[in-house]
Amino acid sequence: MCGCTHIKEENCGIKKALEEGKIKETRYLNYIKIYEDLKDKEEHKW
């Protein structure tokens, strides 16, 4: 793994895999959805 969030980073192994068709787009979009949900929870934690 490349150790980034795989969302905004340009040099991302996940994005590269997505471009090469190694990862399904639906899977990546699902990851973003989960990430956003977690981020939202973190922001409302305190």
Question: Which positions lie near Zn ion, rule CB under 5 A?
Answer: 2, 4, 6, 12, 14
- How far is 6 from 26, CA to CA, in rounded Å? 14
What minimum distance in Å lies between the beta carbon of 12 and Zn ion?
A: 3
**27 phi and psi angles, rounded to 5 deg:** -65, -45
What minimum distance in Å lies between the beta carbon of 46 and Zn ion?
A: 28
CA 33 to the chain's CA centroid: 8
